Structure 1
Amino acid sequence: MADHTPPPPPPQQPYGAGPVGEVPLSQPLRGASPRDAIARFFKKYASFEGRASRSEFWWPWLFAVIVNMAINVILGADSTAGSIIGGIFALAILVPQLSVGARRLHDTGRSGWWQLLYLTCVGVIVLIVFWAMQEKPEGDKYNVA
């Protein structure tokens, strides 16, 4: 006779951690797809804690550039509507861009306060270099439990 024992239940993860195999929002998602990175970008809207992988940082950045270009092409860069919609979009993603930038700096072992370099002309170049760097073990101090 065949054994009719039910299969074991699937492994459980802590509450709020998502499906089995999914990286929790508190951890960086290495090698994120564009869709996953953009979804995490908006889910972690104002979370300045923890770390963000390079893909988590660069895919939303590319998304923002493409949306801005589309607004300029569709509505016209010099039109009032284009300026208003572009400004609203820029304000809508300001906080998440700052938060993902801080998390990306954490992943390279730096404080998110380095983003104050935005206020200088040359500082933006320094930030781009920092954001492009690989993760460092020093970034472990920014991990969220």
Structure 2
Amino acid sequence: MADYPPPPPPQQPYGAGPVGEVPLSQPLRGASPRDAIVRFFKKYAGFEGRASRSEFWWPWLFAFVVNTAISLILGNDSAAGSIVGGLFALAILVPQLAVGARRLHDTGRSGWWQLLYLTCIGIIVLIVFWALPEKAEGDKYNVA
């Protein structure tokens, strides 16, 4: 009896990938750090839809670690450290706003709540909103 390779896994309709793979249009609940960071950059400027808590917090931790590494390696006081740190912050500004808006959608709120960034107390309010579990009201932000 000959050994044949196993058949490919069944595909979901509409090109969503193998069964069990969550399409980019849907939030990935319980995302691993790698999956969350990959989705963070794949959905670079996607403000529509929803994002799970893990999809939101892992990229924020990644940004913190990279900023800390830049500061430790190049130094905060050096011109190189300031330039590289500023370029990194600029490169991830849009995706951080996008994932923040998607996370707010998951809690049933508009992404415009991120305007609270402009106030001191607003940052604390946003952190509380981002930490909340998903709500059914967030269904109105689903992407088909």
TM-score (norm 2): 0.93
Aligned to 2:79: 80
Q: 1:125 is matched by which residue type in structure 2?
A: I
Aligned to 2:91: 92
Q: Aligned partners of 2:94 and 2:15: how far apart in 1?
A: 23
1:27 aligns with 2:26: yes
The alignment-based identity, stated in percent, is: 88
Aligned to 1:46: 45
Q: Aligned partners of 1:30 and 1:103: how far apart in 2?
A: 13
Q: Aligned partners of 2:87 and 2:8: how far apart in 1?
A: 47
Q: Aligned partners of 1:118 and 1:139: how far apart in 2?
A: 21
Range that drifts further, 13-22 or 95-104:
13-22
Aligned to 2:117: 118
1:57 aligns with 2:87: no
Q: Aligned partners of 1:13 and 1:33: how far apart in 2?
A: 22
Q: 2:104 is matched by which residue type in structure 1?
A: L
Superposed, which structure 2 residues align to 1:123-138 within 5 Å? 123-138=122-137
Residue deviations 1:24-65, cap 9 Å, x none? 000000000000000000000000000000000000000000
Question: Shift in Å at residue 104 of structure 1?
Answer: 0.0
Superposed, which structure 2 residues align to 1:10-25 within 5 Å? 10-25=9-24
- The runs of at least 4 consecutive aligned structure 1 residues that moved more than 4 Å come to 7-10
TM-score (norm 1): 0.92
Q: Aligned partners of 1:84 and 1:107: how far apart in 2?
A: 35
Q: Structure 1: which 5+ residue stretches go unaligned?
A: 1-6
Question: Shift in Å at residue 12 of structure 1?
Answer: 2.5
Q: Aligned partners of 2:65 and 2:86: how far apart in 1?
A: 15
Residue deviations 1:61-112, cap 9 Å, x none? 0000000000000000110000000000000000000000000000000000
Question: Aligned with 2:104: secondary structure?
Answer: helix
**Bigger Rg over Cα:** 1
Cα RMSD over matched residues? Answer: 1.6
Aligned to 2:35: 36
Question: Shift in Å at residue 18 of structure 1?
Answer: 2.0
Q: Structure 2: which 5+ residue stretches go unaligned?
A: 1-5
